Amino acid sequence: MTKKRVVIFTGGNLSPQFLNEIGKDDLIIAADRGALFLIENGVQPHIAVGDFDSITEQERESVRDNSERIITCDPVHKDLTDTEMAFEIALDLEPTDILMLGATGTRMDHTLANVHIMVRAMQHHISCTLQDEHNYMMLTTSQADVEDRGYEYVSLLPLTNEVTGITLEGFMYPLDQATIRMGQSLGISNKLLGKTGTVSIDSGLLLIIQSKD
């Protein structure tokens, strides 16, 4: 039976607090070191995937012994990152939502690639969010509700050349039918006035980032 939400734990910055994000009906996919993180914290991933070249042989044995299913690949002759492999598996399951944890870190190339992965989820009509200790990211092509999740700021960044018709409700700095083009900082560091706010746009692809220092 396909579960409605897939939670992907990958090998970037992970914190034990992320374990609280797991719902009882979620399907858990772990990429590379993300699998070891779960197992060390007493959680059995439904699927572990990757080349597992970032962990020791003893740790790989632990992943093999404590995952319901494991999918391995050659660390040299592969076209996808471990995170993208996990994401492809998640897409095949056709969930309504995907939550990605540990998808950011010191490697900016991997972080940006994982942000771009969210676009592919939207193309499959699947809601995708990316979360770490300091950021919560989502995309919209129409309207999005922004909830207070304990992050101080809300920033808007275009992922297309421009995003038009941006209207904000429930924010400290409102916008009405504004346009933001790539390279402009108009949408940086806004704040919610209450528990929720609404972001609406007419055209383009908008990245919404809730963040804190």
* 64 vs 138, residue with greater confidence: 138
Q: Which fold has domain 5-133?
A: Rossmann fold (3.40.50)
Residue 9: pLDDT band by 50, 70, 90 thresholds? very high
Q: Specify the pTM.
A: 0.89
Same fold, 5-133 and 140-211: no
pLDDT, one tens digit per residue, over 99-152 is 999 999 888 998 999 999 999 999 999 999 999 999 999 999 999 999 999 999
In angstroms, the CA 155 to CA 69 distance is: 38
Per the CATH hierarchy, to which homologous superfamily does domain 140-211 belong?
A: Thiamin pyrophosphokinase, thiamin-binding domain (2.60.120.320)
- Taking the CB of residue 150, how many other CB atoms lie within 10 A of it? 8
pLDDT, one tens digit per residue, over 177-206 is 999 999 999 999 999 999 999 999 999 999
Q: Are 199 and 146 in contact (CB under 8 A)?
A: yes
Domain ranges in the chain are 5-133, 140-211
In angstroms, the CA 176 to CA 159 distance is: 20
